[in-house]
């Protein structure tokens, strides 16, 4: 059978209903097949890096497999960052890489690179037509399709969205938990967060949750204060749920073997080198009953936090609270890596009324605008909170916005003129000026002309009231936090 038909029918059997394409001569038959298929949504890109992250965002929010179709050569390589991120989030991202016929391998002929197993351990490769198409997937895969030159159409394939799973996701042993001092919750999809919230309610142990945990109805168990509270809580047994937590406290667990961790996550990795071969239980396995070990401490740093925020209202953490207040009920929020997610976790935390997402597989600052646009494609209100270097990384991200339904999309750039996280890392604070300049990539760029280039409204934000009465549609909000206030905030908060 024609490898194009084999590929498209294979994608349909995996339950794909969305595909992103970046067209070239080599993949044109796959692109035509996608455009002519029934029941398939096609997103069109001019480059592959943003495309990969956009598709990752679609898979992150829908939970369904999403395919991206590239032409041959370095086009296929451009998907690598998104494929690696998909691996560490176990998202069903399918790279369909058009290739020259197998006889060209090892020849150095134009646009013939070695595409089989291009993503190494991060994506199992199926070489079509030699290999059969996969019938199941639990993370990213590559489908490398060898094609002769030509542009002939294929008979239309129907994509019904039905996926035949080879396993029963409910069939799992239970992990019974009743005796822990602390629950640490990292990112959870909102559809999983309801079940986890009910389990944690039954457990009754104190919870330190990231904003992306999306928990509901457990406010009374929630400990605010982030690192500061974690440092003070007496802990010997921890239940870790969801994505690997972003707290420094978690990293320091490497050197605290006396603290026992039970891992519950759909990504079967512990996120701790010391527990490398530990069992990680799937989320559905969690069965909690009331904790015998009630360490409900009187630790409540909420009022201290409030005081410090009020004292330094133009510091970065205070800006997170101002931004949260401007976000309407029901909005989808994406938190950029580096300081935005950390400052949001501290100053806002896990709040009801919005759903939060992030790329915490590898904590990259690349592809964040594109991932967010994928996550929020069908949301009426969506917000991205992102650093300035992270924005510079994904300048082509807004390309796809014109193909999305119109909605209120806000990119909030926290422009602190460089990678300011490095001035907060203890081991880097004493570096000389020149090295600091290099590690932070200090700059004086503004994002106004970038917003204009993409036809997005732009607002420079220097006081909280600038966030009122925003225009409808796509908007870039450039926040300039006060560097001195930020420094004062951290001195007052952590000393």
Ligand X SMILES: Cc1ncc(C[n+]2csc(CCOP(=O)(O)OP(=O)(O)O)c2C)c(N)n1
Q: Would you count residue 436 as binding ligand X (CB under 6 A)?
A: no
**89, 118, 420, 493: which one binds ligand X (CB under 6 A):** 420
Q: What is the dihedral of CA 234, 235, 236, 241, to 10 degrees?
A: 170
Residue closer to ligand X, measured from CB, 266 or 388: 388
Helices and strands of the chain, counted as H and E runs: 16, 19
**111, 304, 363, 436: which one binds ligand X (CB under 6 A):** 363
CB of 7 to ligand X, least distance (A): 30
Q: Would you count residue 387 as binding ligand X (CB under 6 A)?
A: yes
Residue closer to ligand X, measured from CB, 18 or 394: 394
Q: Is 190 left (phi over 0), alpha (psi -120 to 50) or beta?
A: alpha
Site string for ligand X, 55-74 (x = CB under 6 A): --------------------
DSSP 245: P
Residue closer to ligand X, measured from CB, 291 or 337: 337
Number of residues forming the site for ligand X (CB under 6 A): 17
CB of 367 to ligand X, least distance (A): 8
Cβ partners under 8 Å of residue 453, min gap 6: none
Secondary structure (H, E, C), 312-372: CCCCHHHHHHHHHHHCCCCCEEEECCCHHHHHHHHHCCCCCCCEEECCCCCCCCCCHHHHH
Under 8 Å between Cβ of 72 and 26: yes
Residue closer to ligand X, measured from CB, 144 or 416: 416
**389, 404, 461, 476: which one binds ligand X (CB under 6 A):** 389
Residue closer to ligand X, measured from CB, 159 or 319: 319
Q: How far apart are CA 20 and CA 43, in angstroms?
A: 4
Q: Among residues 365, 403, 399, which one has the least CA distance to residue 384?
A: 365
Scanning 72-80, 140-148, 266-274, 416-424 for contacts with ligand X by CB under 6 A, the matching segment is 416-424
Q: Using alpha carbons, list the distances in angstroms from residue 364 to 200, 338, 355.
A: 30, 8, 21
**73, 206, 364, 374: which one binds ligand X (CB under 6 A):** 364
Scanning 95-103, 151-159, 360-368, 374-382 for contacts with ligand X by CB under 6 A, the matching segment is 360-368
Q: Would you count residue 338 as binding ligand X (CB under 6 A)?
A: yes
Q: Would you count residue 366 as binding ligand X (CB under 6 A)?
A: yes
Under 8 Å between Cβ of 20 and 55: yes
Q: Would you count residue 206 as binding ligand X (CB under 6 A)?
A: no
Extract the tokens encoding 183. Answer: 């629950």
Q: Would you count residue 419 as binding ligand X (CB under 6 A)?
A: yes
Rounded to the nearest 10 degrees, the angle between the axes of helix 316-326 and helix 483-494 is: 100
Site string for ligand X, 120-139 (x = CB under 6 A): --------------------
Residue closer to ligand X, measured from CB, 374 or 419: 419
- Shortest-Cβ-distance residue relative to ligand X: 387
- Omega before 352 within 30 of 0, i.e. cis: no
Residue closer to ligand X, measured from CB, 374 or 481: 481
User: 454-481 burial, b if ≥16 CB within 10 A, otherwise e?
Assistant: bebebbebeebeebeeeeeebbbbbbbb
**388, 394, 478, 485: which one binds ligand X (CB under 6 A):** 388
Q: How far apart are CA 26 and CA 12, in angstroms?
A: 21
CB of 363 to ligand X, least distance (A): 5
Under 8 Å between Cβ of 336 and 387: yes
Under 8 Å between Cβ of 219 and 193: no
Residue closer to ligand X, measured from CB, 182 or 309: 309
Q: How large is the C-alpha radius of gyration of the chain?
A: 24
Scanning 93-101, 131-139, 345-353, 357-365 for contacts with ligand X by CB under 6 A, the matching segment is 357-365
CB of 151 to ligand X, least distance (A): 36
Residue closer to ligand X, measured from CB, 266 or 316: 316
Q: Would you count residue 365 as binding ligand X (CB under 6 A)?
A: yes
**89, 192, 370, 416: which one binds ligand X (CB under 6 A):** 416
Q: Would you count residue 421 as binding ligand X (CB under 6 A)?
A: yes
**390, 408, 475, 486: which one binds ligand X (CB under 6 A):** 390
Residue closer to ligand X, measured from CB, 338 or 370: 338
CB of 241 to ligand X, least distance (A): 24
CB of 244 to ligand X, least distance (A): 14
Q: How far apart are CA 125 and CA 383, in angstroms?
A: 35
Indicate the SS3 state at residue 472: coil
Q: How far apart are CA 361 and CA 253, in angstroms?
A: 19
Q: Would you count residue 197 as binding ligand X (CB under 6 A)?
A: no
Residues that bind ligand X (CB under 6 A): 337-340, 363-366, 387-390, 416, 418-421
């Amino acid at each position: 059978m024609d490898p194009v038909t084999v590929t498209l029918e294979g994608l349909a059997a995996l339950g794909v209903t969305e595909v992103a394409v970046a067209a070239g001569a080599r993949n044109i038959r796959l692109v035509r097949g996608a455009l002519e298929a029934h029941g398939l949504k096609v997103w069109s890109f001019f480059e592959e890096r943003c495309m990969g992250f956009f598709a990752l965002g679609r898979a992150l929010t829908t939970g369904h497999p999403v395919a991206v179709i590239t032409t041959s050569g370095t086009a296929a390589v451009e998907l690598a960052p998104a494929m690696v991120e998909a691996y560490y989030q176990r998202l069903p991202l399918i790279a369909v890489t058009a290739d020259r016929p197998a006889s060209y391998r090892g020849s150095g002929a134009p646009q013939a690179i070695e595409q089989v197993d291009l993503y190494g351990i991060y994506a199992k490769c199926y070489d079509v037509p030699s290999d059969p198409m996969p019938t199941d997937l639990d993370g990213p895969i590559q489908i490398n399709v060898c094609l002769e030159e030509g542009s002939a159409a294929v008979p239309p394939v129907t994509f019904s969205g039905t996926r035949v799973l080879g396993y029963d996701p409910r069939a799992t042993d239970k992990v019974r938990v009743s005796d822990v001092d602390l629950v640490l919750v990292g990112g959870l999809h909102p559809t999983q967060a309801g079940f986890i919230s009910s389990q944690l309610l039954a457990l009754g142990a104190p919870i330190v949750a990231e904003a992306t945990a999306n928990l509901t109805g457990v406010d009374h168990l929630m400990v605010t204060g982030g690192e500061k509270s974690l440092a003070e809580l007496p802990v010997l047994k921890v239940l870790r749920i969801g994505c690997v937590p972003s707290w420094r406290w978690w990293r320091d667990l490497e050197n605290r073997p006396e603290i026992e961790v039970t891992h519950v996550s759909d990504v079967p990795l512990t996120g701790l080198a010391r527990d490398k071969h530990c069992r990680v239980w799937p989320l559905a396995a969690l069965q909690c009953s009331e904790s015998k070990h009630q360490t409900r401490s009187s630790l409540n740093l909420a009022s201290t936090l409030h005081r410090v925020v009020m004292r330094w209202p133009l510091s970065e953490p205070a800006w997170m609270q101002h931004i949260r207040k401007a976000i309407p009920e029901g909005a989808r929020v994406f938190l950029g890596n580096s300081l935005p997610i950390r400052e949001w976790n501290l100053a806002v935390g896990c709040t009801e009324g919005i759903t939060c997402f992030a790329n915490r597989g590898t904590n990259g600052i690349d592809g964040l605008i594109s991932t967010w646009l994928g996550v929020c494609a069908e949301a009426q209100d969506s917000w991205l909170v992102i650093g300035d270097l992270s924005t510079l990384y994904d300048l082509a991200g807004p390309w796809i916005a014109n193909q999305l339904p119109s909605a209120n999309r806000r990119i909030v750039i926290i422009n602190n003129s460089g990678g300011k996280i490095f001035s907060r890392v203890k081991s880097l604070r004493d570096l000389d000026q020149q090295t600091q300049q290099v590690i932070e990539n200090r700059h004086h760029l503004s994002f106004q002309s970038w917003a204009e280039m993409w036809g997005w409204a732009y607002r420079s934000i220097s006081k909280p009231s600038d966030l009122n009465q925003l225009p409808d549609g796509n908007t870039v909000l450039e926040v300039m936090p006060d560097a001195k206030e930020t420094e004062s905030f951290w001195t007052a908060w952590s000393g």
